[in-house]
Structure 1
Amino acid sequence: MNRALPWIIALLISLTANGVMTGIVLHRVAGSPHVSDVVRHEHRHPPRDPSDAARTGGFNVRAFLRSLPEEQQQIARQRFASERVGFRELMLAAQNAQQDAEAALRADPYDPQAAAEALGELRARRFEIEAAMEAIVLELVADLPPEERMNALAAGRRRPGGFGRRGDRRPSPRDRF
C-alpha cells in the first residue's frame, strides 16, 4: 500500500464534507424552498396564519376576561362560578358524544349514516358549549364603554401563550380565568 493513499482518502473525505456544508449554507442563504413548503401536509395541519384567530384556536376567553376592568372581572368570576355545574354537564355531554362518534367511526361493519349522525350530535354538543360561553361574554360586555369593549375583544383575539416575550405579563397563579 502506498504511503500517500491514507492522505488521499482523508483529502477526499474532507472535500466531500466541505462540499456538503457549503451546499447547506448556500441553500439557507439563497432562500431556497424548505421541504415543508414542497411536501404536502397530509398527516398534519397546514401552516397557519397567526393573525387569524378563527384558525388558531378561536376566541381566547381567558385573555378576554383578564383584560376586563377589575369590577367586571369579579362579576365574571361570580357568573362563571354560578354556571359551573351547567358547564360541567355540557362538557360531559360533549365527551359522551365524542366517544359515540369514535365508536361509530370504528364500527365493523361501518355504517356511514350512523357515523354522520354521531358526528352531528358531537357538533351540536360543541355548539351548546360555545353558545353558553357567548351568552356570558355578551352579558359581561353589555355595560362596558365601547373602547373598553373593543380592547377586551382584541385581547380575546390574540393568540394564547407567548408570555415572557415583548414585556407580556405572566398571569399569577391566583388568576383563575
Structure 2
Amino acid sequence: MNINFLKDELKLVVSKKRYDHSIRVLKTALHLGEIYNVDLNKLTIASLLHDYAKEMPKQELIKISKDNFIIESKDYLDNSEILHSYASAYIAKNTFKVEDSEVLNAIKYHTTGRQNMKLIEKIVYLADAIEPKRDYPYVEKIRDLALVNLDKAILLEVNKKIEYLLKENYVIHIDSIEMRNWLLKTS
C-alpha cells in the first residue's frame, strides 16, 4: 500500500492536530516495532488509519458501529472515543481494502485493547497512549517500560486508565477489563 497516499487521504479527513498525532503514533509504533521485530509495513498502515474516523460526526460513528459491530459496540453507542476505532477499522477494510486481520484488529482495538492481542495490536494500542505529546501521570514510566517489556507497559497503562475512568465515573469497556485480566495471568 502506498504510504504517501494514506497520509494524503488522512490529511483530507482530520484536523492538523489529529494528523500530527497520527504521525507521532506512527513514529512511536515504528520505534517499538524495531525493538520487538514486528512487520513495519503493517504497523505503518494501522498507525496511519487508527484515528481515521476520529472526527466523523457521532451519528455516522453510531451507524457504522450498529451496522457492523453491534455486539462490540451496543453498550457504548454514546461514546465516540470508543466508536471511532470501530469506524476506522471499517473504513480501512472497505475504503482502503485492508484485508490483514492483524492490521484491522490493531485499528479496531487501539482504544480499548482486548485479551489475546497480537503483538502489532499491542504496539499500536501503546503507541497511541505514549506518543511524545501525551502528558499524564506515569506516562514517562510507561514509555520507559515499553522499551523493555511491552506487556508490563500495557498493564501499567490500562491500570492508570481504569483508575482515571473510575475517578471520573466513566463507563469502562469490557475489553479493557478483559485485557487487563489476561495480561495479569500471562505476564
For normalisation by structure 1, the TM-score amounts to 0.25
For normalisation by structure 2, the TM-score amounts to 0.24
- Determine which structure has greater relative contact order: mean sequence separation of CA pairs < 8 Å that are 6+ residues apart, divided by chain length: 1
Query: Which structure's residues are more often helix, by fraction?
Result: 2
